[in-house]
Amino acid sequence: MAISNGWGRDLAQFTVLIPVYNGAEFVGEALTSVAEQTLEDVRVVVSNNASTDNTAEILSSWEPRLNMRIITQSETLPMQDHFNALLNEIETEFYMLLCHDDYLADPRTLELAQEALTENPEVAAAYCNLVYVNPARRKLATRIFKRGHLFDADKAGLATITTARNMFGIPIGIRRSSLGELRYDPQFHYAMDVDLSWALSRHQQAIHIPQVLIANRYSNANTTWKLLSQALDETRNLAQKYNVPLGRMGDLRLCMVNFMVNQKKRLFGLYQRVKSWGD
């Protein structure tokens, strides 16, 4: 059973959802980045997934500073269930889900996302370029997505399968009507974000804002490292779900690409640890 506090009547059109579990080290930075946004009347819904550190105290200290509702889970939910529980709380026209260890890299992030979605009613979700940072916010790398202003989800999904990399990125704005009854699919863990992004825009276009607007943090606590062993099987499942034929040679190529990308990600993790020495 979850315990929730409420909020008064407001004019918000945009909700930021933040799922957090034992996030005391970073969740304050995520909330600070939301508080610094130029977009007014933003709702924040934070779900504390039965954390055992001092996450609850940090969230309470932020409650007077944001239009924020805190949901406290009585027991720790599996990640997909936790994220889906948050999706059920959306009441505004637009939303984004911000992981507690990431943060918005530009004060205009939400304003630009809402503007893009409002001006392009045929678009389901807005994406951007991103920066990878270490626990101390030191820049590790920048990821630039080379694509048009409007892009097709099936092409991005196919590119994800052929490259073994998330070719959507992190959505900074999603239309609630496009989400509808869609939720995170329990068969995906490593690829859960790709799957939902693909499903969201499969019958609509997505839009790309060619600016670095979100920071994706790499640390030893990232679930990525624990889930790398599932990457190949989940990529195969993505191909099956979205009717991408592989064939024997295609599957062999998929195995090789996944192996190489996994090794690169492990090296990137090592680079992050080296870069973090002394921070």
Q: Which two tokens stand for residue 186?
A: 């329990």
Looking at residue 150, what is its pLDDT? 96
Query: Residue 237: CB partners within 8 Å, gap ≥ 6?
Result: 187, 188, 191
Contacts of 201 (CB under 8 A, 6+ apart): 123, 124, 125, 152, 153, 156, 178
**Residues 148, 86 share a domain:** no
Of 101, 134, 169, the last residue of a domain is 101
Domain check: are 234 and 117 in the same one?
yes
pTM of the model: 0.93
198 three-state secondary structure? helix
Last residue in a domain, options 101, 119, 138: 101
Tokens of 14: 């945009």
The pLDDT tens digits for 67-87 are: 999 999 999 999 999 999 999
Give the separation between CA 60 and CA 65, rounded to whole angstroms: 10
**What is the tens place of the pLDDT at every residue in 129-177?**
999 999 999 999 999 999 989 999 999 999 999 999 999 999 999 999 9
Do 124 and 247 have their domain in common? yes
Residues 278, 176 share a domain? yes
Which of 199, 195, 168 minimizes the C-alpha distance to 181?
A: 199
Cα angle vertex 2, ends 71, 35, to 5°? 5
- Kind and range of the H or E element at 131? strand 123-133
Q: Of 101, 120, 153, which residue sits at a domain end?
A: 101
Q: Would you say residue 22 has pLDDT above 60?
A: yes
Same-domain status, 109 and 143? yes
Q: Are residues 151 and 268 in the same domain?
A: yes
The C-alpha atoms of residue 16 and residue 55 are separated, in whole angstroms, by: 18
Phi, psi of 63 (to 5 degrees): -55, -40
Distance of alpha carbon 145 from alpha carbon 27, whole angstroms: 27
Q: How many domains does the chain have?
A: 2
pLDDT of residue 4 exceeding 70? no
- Is the pLDDT at 215 greater than 70? The verdict is yes
The pair phi, psi for residue 8, each rounded to 5°, is -80, 180
Residue 22 sits in the same domain as residue 143: no
CATH number of the CATH domain containing 205: 3.90.550.10
Task: Output the six-digit token pair for 274.
Answer: 């080296």
Residues 9, 82, single domain; the answer is yes
Q: Which residues pair with 141 in a beta bridge?
A: 132
Tell me what pLDDT residue 276 has: 79
SS3 207: strand
Domain of residue 234 covers 105-279
Residues 93 and 139 in one domain: no
Which residue's structure tokens are 């890299």? Answer: 105
CA–CA separation, 67 and 25 (whole Å): 22
Percent above pLDDT 70 for the chain: 95
Q: Are 88 and 109 in the same domain?
A: no
Q: What is the mean pLDDT of residues 96-123?
A: 97
In terms of domains, do 170 and 34 share one? no
Residue 19, φ and ψ in degrees, nearest 5: -85, 135
How many beta carbons lie within 10 A of that of residue 57, not counting itself? 9
Please state, rounded to an integer, the average pLDDT across all residues of the chain. Answer: 93
Instruction: Identify whether residues 56 and 189 lie together within a single domain.
Output: no
